With several copies, the nearest count.
Chain A
Amino acid sequence: MARILQLDEAIAELVHDGDTVALEGFTHLIPVAAGHEIIRQRRRDLTLVRMTPDIVYDQLIGAGCARKLIFSWGGNPGVGSLHRFRDAIQNSWPVPLEIEEHSHAGMANRYAAGASGLPFAVLRGYAGTDLPAQTDTIKMIECPFTGERLAAVPAINPDVGIIHAQQADRAGNVQMWGITGVQKETVLASKRSLVTVEEIVDELTPRPGAVVLPQWVVTAVAEAPGGAAPSYAQGYYERDNAYYQQWDPIGRDREKFENWLATEVLSTERSAR
């Protein structure tokens, strides 16, 4: 049964220095509060995984939490580049950042293989691109029936998978709806998992398009209202577009970023819930 913890407790217990950690969310339901708590607890040497690293990954990288990023599209959606990410790759600031780069199709299949307990996945992908030359996690495989050559990618099995959902019940069953991305796979592929939720309710009401994760595959649930902001949580709040815009000048400048980090994350405390 999933345990209901406070967010700081959950991060302290589940995320260790050196872990491979996936905080997934596809535009919607991005686990930002959990990311900030990881920064606050000053985790180091993490291998961060995410298909679409955006602002919260820029922040984690800028704060020096990561030594490696596994990803398929890194940017501030609708705005531009992630400057902390670029500074880390191009100038090793504040620490060097290794990258392992895939396409979305490749990453989605790596999570699916991880969730399936398979060591690898097969896809039609990467053919003719320069990506395979840059990573040893793309190989070719031959169909044993047709002889056709396809791409193979290894499973991702993070030490910790972290997602944000709208609701959990008191037993820790989780329900999310709207765009749910690769979050189910992330939890199922991970050795440990944390789901932050907008609210804990007495009973989950079935909804069209909802994805349910039963409590017995979730390690911990933490209530974190607003925990996906500045992204949105369908049924709870909308995307804070201004935040994405406002991040650009902060992210561009090391000093501004460090001020932001000190005032907005390190010196604050997530209100206990």
Chain B
Amino acid sequence: MSSAEFTSDEMMTVGAARSLHDGVACFVGIGLPSTAANLARRTHAPNLVLIYESGTLGAKPDRLPLSIGDGVLADTADSVIGVPEIFNYWLQPGRIDTGFLGGAQVDRFGNINTTVIGGDYANPKVRLPGAGGAPEIAASCREVLIVMRMSPRSFVEKLDFVTSVGYGTGKGDREKLGLRGRGPVKVITDLGVLEPDPETCELTLTQLSPGATVEQAREAVGWPLKVVDEPTVLQAPTETELTVLRELKATIGGAK
């Protein structure tokens, strides 16, 4: 165990990596989810199956891919398939265990916005990239992990646009909507981890990052944040985790 210094982003990435169990199939988005998944595959989860929406099943990249369609994914995959097939045969039936999502905004029920902020849809203040694979990842993966830095601008009382559904307006909504997966089981942030309350599905602070406080978390969330009685403190990144993570990050330079 190490007391090495680490950033809150590193803690967040390590926390996300630890949430991936060995042997599961994981639908990976680019950025932090991909870093976390590759970290997990190099540490506790060597048999993690990485699936990218570009159509690579079982990619085993020897460096961090720079995009969801990086050539290293195709080169190392068990199989490369077309994009319609990845969504129809692999994601849609619910055969992928874990989906990773980020977003510009999340609300207390784990719904996500990656479409527009401010104004209205036709005349937004900020036009975001849009849905991509997220709505169906959120609907169909057996469980979803959300990874986002906490701030009142991103953890909001009300989304400007619902791009992807977490628990809708609360417990039971997923079933009513016919969504197959369980929904978001964790929101992993720089300050700690939120989990849906078993009764209400409202996101509740259950774990704190080392050094972070409940007060900090409350201030970083735009709704009255529920907190469990005694939030546990996340284990700091181990030396191995940090070393592997930093090595991974260093591979980006030489990537295509």
Contact = CB atoms under 8 A, between A and B. Distances in A.
Are chains A and B touching directly in their complex (CB below 8 angstroms)?
yes
Interface of A: 1, 26-28, 51-52, 71-75, 77-78, 81, 85-86, 89-90, 101-105, 108-109, 111-112, 115-118, 123-131, 134, 148-149, 173, 178-182, 184-185, 188, 209, 211-212, 214, 216-217, 232, 234, 238-239, 241
B84 A111 contact: yes
B135 A129 contact: yes
A104 B165 contact: no
A232 B80 contact: no
Given A129-B163, A212-B78, A239-B71, 11 more contacts: A28-B54, A78-B67, A103-B135, A104-B133, A105-B87, A116-B88, A127-B178, A129-B131, A180-B82, A182-B83, A232-B71
A27 B256 CA distance: 11
A148 B178 CA distance: 9
B215 to A, nearest CB: 32
Chain A contact residues: helix, strand, loop or mixed:
loop
Given A103-B132, A124-B136, A178 B121 contact: no
Interface stretch (B10-18, B89-97, B232-240): B89-97
Interface stretch (B55-63, B144-152, B190-198, B220-228): B55-63
Given A178-B74, A185-B82, A131 B55 contact: no
Contacts of B83: 26, 51, 104, 108, 181-182
A130 B93 contact: no
A90 B123 CA distance: 6
Given A71-B130, A105-B135, A128-B177, A28 B87 contact: no
Contacts of A131: 115, 131, 135, 163
A51 B131 CA distance: 10
B80 to A, nearest CB: 5
A77 B255 CA distance: 14
Contacts of B135: 103, 105, 125-126, 129, 131
A216 B256 contact: no
A74 B128 CA distance: 8
B172 interface: no
A28 B79 CA distance: 16
Contacts of A124: 92, 136, 139-140, 178, 180
Given A103-B133, A214-B78, A112 B84 contact: yes
Question: 7 nearest interchain CB pairs?
Answer: A27-B69, A117-B93, A238-B256, A73-B132, A75-B129, A128-B165, A212-B79
Contacts of B255: 241
B219 interface: no
A105 to B, nearest CB: 4
30 contacts: A52-B132, A72-B132, A73-B133, A74-B130, A81-B127, A89-B127, A104-B83, A104-B132, A105-B87, A108-B87, A112-B88, A115-B89, A123-B136, A125-B135, A127-B178, A129-B135, A129-B164, A134-B121, A178-B80, A179-B54, A179-B80, A181-B54, A188-B93, A188-B95, A209-B74, A209-B80, A212-B79, A232-B71, A239-B66, A241-B255
Given A130-B162, A214-B78, A182 B84 contact: yes
A130 B84 contact: no
A203 to B, nearest CB: 11
A74 B31 CA distance: 16
Residue of B25, B49, B80, B123 contacting most chain A CB atoms (<10 Å): B80
B141 interface: no
Nearest to B23: A1
Contact of A127 (B75, B89, B161, B179): B179
A212 to B, nearest CB: 4
Contacts of B23: 1, 216
A178 B67 contact: no
Contacts of B87: 104-105, 108-109, 123
A130 B179 CA distance: 15
Interface in B85-142: 87-89, 91-95, 115, 121, 123-124, 126-136, 139-140
B71 A234 contact: yes
A212 B139 CA distance: 26
Nearest to B130: A73
A173 B71 contact: no
A90 B130 CA distance: 15
Given A115-B93, A127-B165, A216 B66 contact: no
A181 B95 CA distance: 20
Contacts of B82: 180-182, 184-185, 211
